[in-house]
Structure 1
Amino acid sequence: MPKPYLLARPSGLYVRFRVPRDLVPRLGFGSIVRSLHGLRGDAARLSAALQGVALSEAFARLRKGAGMADVDVKKLLESAQRAAEDGSLREWTATGVRVGGVDFGTVTTTGRRDTLDFIETMKAAAEMAREGLPMVFPSAALAAPVAMPALSALQGEPAPLLSVEIANHVADLEQRELSPDTITESKHSLRLLLGIVGDLPVDQIKAKHLRAFWEGVRWWPALATVKPKYRRLSVAETIAKGKEENVPVPSRHTRNKHRQRLSVFFNALVNMDVIPRSPLKGMGSEIDTGTELETGRPFTPEELKQIFAPEHFVPWAKHLPHRWWGPILGLYTGARVNEVAQLYIDDVRQVDGVWGLFVWKKDRNQKVKTKSSIRFIPLAQPVLDAGFLEFVEDMRKTGHPRLFPHLPAGTRKDGKPNGLGYGRQLSRQFSVYLRQFGIEKGTAFHAFRHTLATALAEALVPTSTIALITGHASKVSVSVLETHYIHIADVKTLPERSVALAKFRPEITIQSYGCCQFEKSMMEPSSLHL
């Protein structure tokens, strides 16, 4: 039986079924989405299960050679006939009405007479489909006041609903095994689109609908999907709440991300001949963010002294290796928190006599932000003097491949990675640690990156060299799957980067690894995360 997947949408619960792969070419679509008509809880689950049983029977009949007219239309007619006979429904509606190669879309009849006229029309269409005759409908049936698409629409298949294509698009992203972050972000943008413009046929979405979308994005509160006060609100209610609270305008970066996700969605529909052109076309390009300063700030010299003061740092960090070495590596390499947290022991290597860290995506759950993030960062002398290589050797003896194996990657309920990476726990713990020094919320581990970059710029280190160290965008393009160490290390510029890092001299004292013996349980391979 096809497994039902419940989908929560602004208009209520829906259920989605995947079409078996062997039937996709015959049916022309990969999934089926149906409304649960306001049902909730156990009632919704029961209805979804019953629909799954019915679909299983329909798929079995299709495999035996039955046509679409034999499967879909028969059930459609039975449903309409019951409605007409018992008189309990004054209005009867069906979606996804399909005969042969023609999709009639959504059909609504009003009253017994309309329903009976529709039945006769569909019987005639089904018979013509079986015999391979052109679709010609009785004039009496066409004269009936039935809410059907225009005759011109019957020459081809009307476009599917937005909700159906969103479900298909997300399934395609998952099938391509894109990063969980990408899939989650796409779901968010498309959920807003559906909640703002409604469940329209995708070929009816025009510029006016996208203008309504941008207006909704303007009032969407930051982090609304995780804040409890918005959790039970629909998209429309959340936007209304945002207006009421006069929330700040979202950043240009956020608006550009929404545009990119919609562009991928509509371009995919164009490429699959679902719609003739993207409604985004002609609405202008992305917002220019080229002159914007990167958000955040560096730590001040006084803050660095507080952070690494032995009386503060040692009690906080001495029991957990990632707390001890994470901030030290963040300060002296400018690496992002996830880049530090996801390091494997083999990522610490010596190239052309220089010890350093490889930041790349070569093992399970490792990820990089951009291609320019793939790099080799020389280790500054204070890090070596503090005993970092001795720590690496101790971790190698545990037999575990990761440098900080107590940091989990984070998983969803189904056990798959949630895309947040290994750095989330270190980031949270360090943020809590900073609060005791009165450092404002929002200034956290990433400030090390700003600290190093700012200090090197003030020391007149060329921007291109700083970019090679921090992994900011540059003209150098390196494949994510690159395995040639010397190429990634960029040996020609190694001396330049080593000299640049030697110019970074914060006025702090780094405690030696020898003075901090981590608890034995922290260095054992049991209960550690891959």
Structure 2
Amino acid sequence: MEDEKILRLVDGSPSLAAGGFLTLERAAELVALSVVDLLREVEAGRLGLACRVPLRAGAGYVVDAATLDPAGSDGGFQLPSQSPPEALAADMGGRVLSLPEGGADVARALLASGVNVVELVVLERDWGRWRWVFVPDAVIETSAGALEVRAVDVEAIRSARASTVSTERVERARTAHSVHMASRVAPAGKWATKRFNEAVDAYCTSPDGMARTLVSSHEQRHRKHGLLLFSEFMGDVVLGDIDGDMLRAFRDGPLKGLPGNKNKLPNEINRTTMKETVAALQADGRDWPLMSAGMQHERMLLLYRLFEWLAAPSRGYLKVNPAEGLRLDTGLTKAERKEHARVDTERKAARRTEADGDEDEEGRRPFSVVELQLIFGQPQFVNGHGRHAQGNGRCDPFEYWLPVMAACQGIRLKEGAQLHLADVRQVNGVWCLDINEATADKSLKNAQSARIVPLHPELIRLGFLDYCDGLRAAGFRRVFPELTWVKSDARYAKEAGRKMSAMLGNLGMPRDGSLVFHCLRHCFNNALARVPGHVVPDADDRLRAYMRYKVMGHKLPADVNASHYTRVTVDEMSAVVGAVKHEGLPQVVPFNVQFGIAEVWAALARKKLHRHKREDMGPLGQLLPVPLPAAQAA
């Protein structure tokens, strides 16, 4: 093996430590192996193949793998000619999905045939308790080298192979490399052996550098931070080693995984360094907004200007600008740029729609059974607490309770988010939710939204009353004290709306405003309309309609006279609500109350300034509950 390849294998690359996925071609280049070498690792089961679904080829459906017939002993599936009735339409454009069985059969076929083109008709993704497959509407055609692998798996293979290289061979390679670097200093420029971070410091402090065109010290610090992202992910490499390929690797790798706004991430994800933050994002599993294509291009322009300054003939620090070919190159085709713009527009529209927690009643359908299975098959509903199955990520208690309450009680997102513990009370011996705006921190959509809704037996089984008792004992006043009040009409629902939207997006549901949290309320309404008449045998059709409208908080239609039904009892309403059933759903595991209370304390401890460790009551003030338990006060 050549000296340069020996060092690549032994030293590794910052791109491998950055996490995420790499194409086979890029991974092979980083570890000085061939694509064929890596395919053999896939065939042996030490590496798994994945495919990044093209943005314009993401339409298709997902279905539970257990419902498909196996293709044979070698694995795979027999796909029906048409999508099954239980399938869920989904758009997986831009997502990285695994090949079935890790792609071992694909690797075996590529090695045997020598062809370089792969046609994919099915991909895999695990969601909670189920293994799901994605079937695209059109065959996805890609090259073998464009298939992707996890950087961490490639790093493990590199490390294992590097351990077989003798110390003497590595020393010979380093000596030869040092001689080579010394010989290239003059032709490459005076600073060819300087480190990237040293060059950034010089550029940012020199009077003829960044300060020449940028006066604001705040903006200078911001742009310097943007430049140093390169060395954070790619390493503080010497300038002479930086070329167009390394810059493209940064652009097409780590840069695409950066959050759109790091400061808006919750504290459990927003870490000290960007690299740690990206790792936390990937472990969290939720679909957080990433940098737009335009923002990524701006970061690359910062690098271009740095190298333009270094390569200026008057300075001679570098003879060639390695970023010259990237100035107008975004890495996207014209069609992909249009698609990114469309996706950004739809995401913004979806966020605006859900942010206030009070979506329109019309224009959306209920979730299908398959979609409900996806939602309630997530880890928090499978294990009963907030620990995610992926990495160290957690979810707050409201992420467990609000979907359950919407499906079983029909409440709006904002109505649930703003509940006080005093609103969970007994009416004539029946536990109910009192939906009201009796305090200044709450608001309702309209007058008829104020109502009493009997608790569904499922919430009692899951431990909702026990959880409320635990919150009361801890000194809290609200059902979801981890949520923060805002001045907009969203009140306490802003964060909840964002989290619910991200959750649905991570499950593969379109973020165009068609499928939102509010669809759970539609599911409840449909189930409520199908409650059998024998549940309240003395009620006529109009009385049943009256009870349904009262439970939902809807305006009564003209043909239903409310004065005729003022004697409807809470027991009758409770019977109707309790008869609501969602067929085909998995049984949700009861909530871990002790863990939930601890998560509330942890969430409050992460808040800043006047909200630190205090329950936010909006205009009612910031309240400090009873003293923190000793184990959590540290």
- TM-score range for the pair, normalised by the shorter chain length: 0.3 to 0.5
TM-score normalised to structure 2 length? 0.33
TM-score (norm: length of structure 1): 0.39
Greater RCO structure (CA 8 Å; 6+ sep): 2
